[in-house]
Amino acid sequence: MYKITKLLTLSSLLAFSFILVGFGNTSSFAKAPGAWIIEVDEERCADPRVAQANREGELLVVASIYETPETTKAHSEGFKKYWCLDDDFEVKFEIRNTPGTIARLEAEASKGVPISGDVTTMPAITWFMDAVDRGLIMAYNSPNYADMKLPEAIGLNNIPYWTSDMYMFVPMWNSNALPDLELNSWMDLLDPELKGKMSILDGSLQQSVALVYDYMKKSGKLPDDYWERLADQDILISSTSSLSVDMMMSGERPISILGVSADACVLHSQGATFVKTAAPIEGVMLQEQASAAFASAPHPNAAQLWLDFLRSHEGQTIFEFHEGRVPGRSGVPSSCAVTPNNDDLMDSAFAPDYAAMVSDPDLVRNAQAEFGRIFLNK
């Protein structure tokens, strides 16, 4: 039995306002510990901020992106070892879904009260953009960001809320049901042999699907009538990611058009090696997780060290290894057989146009309406 207890359906986490409709999360990978190793570096540990952080004594992480206790434990212990922090230094976590995290932060910020936390990581880029304008975010440029090549390549070099890691939306399929299938292009989904064999999340409701539709339509990488032709393939419109994955696994609808690559990694780790994914040549969308320290952080030195660690090779490897994230840092290989190395995505990946989402409040709504018209005759 293969099971994703908390599916990584991040479609609605592309926050345009303070209100996000959250999905679930992904399960931890069933892998042996030790894939990431942190070695003590005396020169690194001589950073004067280390002594100051030890005096601060603790760090509070308010976030929505940690899916399992294994990841928080690995990051907490790894952080302390990476910086040679004292044994009694404490890393505390407040983990909620993204709407809950934003509500928690806004409850203080909207009243002009300093945010009682040090750092945050969540997929709410437009919230970060607004928070920067309101002076809520510490203007800190981590030196480790110099090696975060993938976010820079796709236009996500957004100081001071640098990307930490990303999720990737890709076609995902059951190779037991479709043993000869190869998907090198989004055009391959128009094969008449695939009619009635695919599902897609409802883009009239889920922002990420609508944004993939919007980007690909505007990019000119596909024919103007591509989406209408795809709709003619008898696509089942799924209300949830879990339904698409269930139908993909059972073979009822063996292709999930916009799956999340980390879901496939979870399934692989559980023995479902027949699950395949592809990164079509026209491009795949990456949903970024942004990380930042608060301007009012009560432990500012620890906060800066944390941001440095998240963007280190070691910190990035923990995210990739435990949760199947696409690391932003170059040279961090994928440990999942169905996820490409991030360096291989430099020329094909794309990100949502967050600036356009801010300047045009109707962008997402219009894309959702167009999707509904094409696929649901709304």
C-beta of residue 148 within 8 angstroms of C-beta of residue 162: yes
Q: Are residues 294 and 273 in the same domain?
A: no
Q: Is 89 within the bounds of a domain?
A: yes
Q: Is 94 within the bounds of a domain?
A: yes
Q: Are residues 190 and 270 in the same domain?
A: yes
pLDDT in tens, the chain (378 residues): 443 333 333 333 333 332 233 333 333 333 334 445 788 999 999 999 999 999 999 999 999 877 778 889 999 999 999 999 999 999 999 999 888 999 999 999 999 999 999 999 988 888 888 899 999 999 998 888 888 888 877 777 666 677 777 888 899 999 999 999 999 999 999 999 999 999 999 999 888 888 888 888 888 999 999 999 999 999 999 988 889 999 999 999 999 999 888 888 888 888 999 999 999 999 988 888 889 999 999 999 999 999 999 999 999 998 888 877 888 888 888 888 777 777 888 788 888 888 888 788 899 899 999 999 999 985
The pLDDT of residue 157? 64
Which residue, among 72, 73, 80, has the nearest Cα to 44 in the 3D structure? 80
Q: Are residues 112 and 217 in the same domain?
A: no
Q: Is 6 within the bounds of a domain?
A: no
Instruction: Find the Cα–Cα–Cα–Cα dihedral 273, 235, 6, 353, rounded to 10°.
Output: 100
Q: Are residues 316 and 241 in the same domain?
A: no
Determine the Cα–Cα distance for residues 289 and 121; give it in Å rounded to an integer: 6
Count of the separate structural domains present in the chain: 2
Indicate which CATH number applies to the domain containing 300. Answer: 3.40.190.10
Give me 81's structure tokens: 């070892």
Determine the Cα–Cα distance for residues 310 and 330; give it in Å rounded to an integer: 13
Q: Are residues 367 and 257 in the same domain?
A: yes
Determine the Cα–Cα distance for residues 50 and 88; give it in Å rounded to an integer: 14
Q: Is 267 within the bounds of a domain?
A: yes
Determine the Cα–Cα distance for residues 364 and 16; give it in Å rounded to an integer: 8
Give the bridge partners for 256, in sequence order: 172, 199
| Enclosing H/E stretch for 49 | helix 48-56
Q: For the chain, what is the total number of helices (H) and then of strands (E)?
A: 14, 11
**HEC profile for 291-353?**
EEEECCCCCHHHHHHHHHHHCCHHHHHHHHHHHCCEECCCCCCCCCCCCCCHHHHCCCEECCC
The pLDDT of residue 159? 63
C-alpha pair distances (Å), 35 with each of 26, 307, 314, 315, 333? 19, 21, 10, 12, 11
- DSSP structure class, residue 123: S
Residues 6+ apart with CB under 8 A from 82: 38, 44, 309, 312, 314, 315
The pLDDT of residue 378? 59
C-alpha pair distances (Å), 297 with each of 7, 59, 80, 83, 134? 32, 9, 19, 19, 15
Give me 174's structure tokens: 């059951």
The pLDDT of residue 98? 87
Q: Are residues 106 and 188 in the same domain?
A: no
Q: Are residues 213 and 145 in the same domain?
A: no
Q: Are residues 366 and 239 in the same domain?
A: yes
Q: Is 4 within the bounds of a domain?
A: no
Angle between helices 300-310 and 69-82 (to 10 degrees): 110
Q: Which residue range(s) make up the domain with 123?
A: 11-166+287-339
C-alpha pair distances (Å), 96 with each of 25, 183, 242? 11, 36, 20
Q: Are residues 84 and 146 in the same domain?
A: yes
Q: Is 2 within the bounds of a domain?
A: no
Residue type, 174: N
The pLDDT of residue 17? 31
Q: Are residues 200 and 161 in the same domain?
A: no
Q: Is 361 within the bounds of a domain?
A: yes
The pLDDT of residue 36? 58
Give me 335's structure tokens: 């440990």
Strand, helix or coil at 125? helix
Strands (E), the chain: 58-63, 90-95, 119-122, 163-174, 198-201, 236-238, 255-260, 275-277, 284-293, 326-327, 349-350
Q: Are residues 142 and 178 in the same domain?
A: no
Determine the Cα–Cα distance for residues 131 and 119; give it in Å rounded to an integer: 13
Q: Is 350 within the bounds of a domain?
A: no
Q: Are residues 149 and 212 in the same domain?
A: no
